[in-house]
Amino acid sequence: MIESSAPQRQLLDASGVDRCLDEIAQAIQMRWPNESQLALVGVYRRGVPFSEALAAKLRARGLTVELGRIDITQYRDDLKTMTVLPKLEGSDIPFDLEDAVVILCDEVIYTARTSRAALEELLDFGRPRCVQIAALVDRSGRELPLNADYAGIRVDLPAHERVSVRFMDADGRDEVFIKAWEKKSASP
C-alpha cells in the first residue's frame, strides 16, 4: 500500500516523458524499420496508456503498428498475498500473433514478475516470431531473467521506494515520480 502522506520526488515531467517516448520509438524504428507485423501490447493498467502513446509516436514515424491489451490477473504469482484483488479487465488482442513482432509494454519493469505473467498470457493467443519488452522506467531489482529491450530511463532505488507513473489520458498529466511505500501483507 502506498503511504499517502509520504513526500514524492519527480523523476520526469511531461517533457521528460515525451522525450523518453521519442527515444524508445526511435530505438524500435531502428531495430524494426521495415517490419510489416509490428504490434505493441500494453499490460493493464499503466502499460496500456504507455503502449498507446508509444504507438502514436511510431505511427508518426510512418510505421504500421497493431495495438493490443493484456490482463495478467490470472497469471499473477502473488494473488494469495493481496489484500484487494485486482479488477479483471480481460485481454484484447484484435490481430493475428502468428509470426508477429510483439513488444510488451509496461510503464515500469522491476522484478520482471509482471513481464513473466504477460508473456504467459500472450502465448495463449498465438506464437509470435519475437517478443520484446518496452518500459518507460527500468528499475533495478530483477527476480526473474527478463529485461527491457527498450527503456526511457533506468533507476536504482531502495526497496522502500516505489516508482509511480501518470499518463495524460488516464490521470490528466504525464509524469514519473518516486514515493516511499510500505508493502503490507494479506491477512490470513
Answer for the pair 40, 65: CB distance below 8 angstroms, yes or no.
yes
Higher pLDDT, 86 or 2: 86
Lookup: cell for 177:
515520480
Instruction: Give the residue from 33, 49, 56, 36 showing the smallest Cα distance to 171.
Output: 49
**Helix, strand, or coil (residue 164):** strand
Lookup: cell for 80:
494469495
Percent of the chain with pLDDT strictly greater than 70: 86
Confidence of residue 45 (pLDDT cuts 50, 70, 90): confident
Q: Where are the domains of the chain?
A: 13-160
Separation of alpha carbons 135 and 51, rounded Å? 9
Mean pLDDT of 125-148: 96
Confidence of residue 170 (pLDDT cuts 50, 70, 90): confident
Q: Give the pLDDT score at 77.
A: 61
Chain-centroid distance, C-alpha 29: 18
Q: Give the pLDDT score at 73.
A: 82
Contacts of 77 (CB under 8 A, 6+ apart): 113, 116, 117
Q: Give the pLDDT score at 90.
A: 80
pLDDT over threshold 50, residue 160: yes
Strand partners, 163: 178
The residue behind cell 504500421 is 64
Over residues 62-74, the pLDDT tens digits come to 999 999 999 988 7
Chain-centroid distance, C-alpha 98: 22
Over residues 67-106, the pLDDT tens digits come to 999 998 876 665 555 555 556 678 999 999 999 999 999 9
Separation of alpha carbons 64 and 34, rounded Å? 9
pLDDT over threshold 80, residue 139: yes
Which amino acid appears at position 109 of this protein?
A: I
* Domain covering 13-160 in this structure, CATH number: 3.40.50.2020
Answer for the pair 62, 36: CB distance below 8 angstroms, yes or no.
no
Confidence of residue 181 (pLDDT cuts 50, 70, 90): confident
- pTM score of the predicted model: 0.88
The CB density around residue 177, as the number of other CB atoms within 10 Å, is 16
145 class by beta-carbon count within 10 Å (0-12 exposed, 13-18 middle, 19+ buried):
exposed
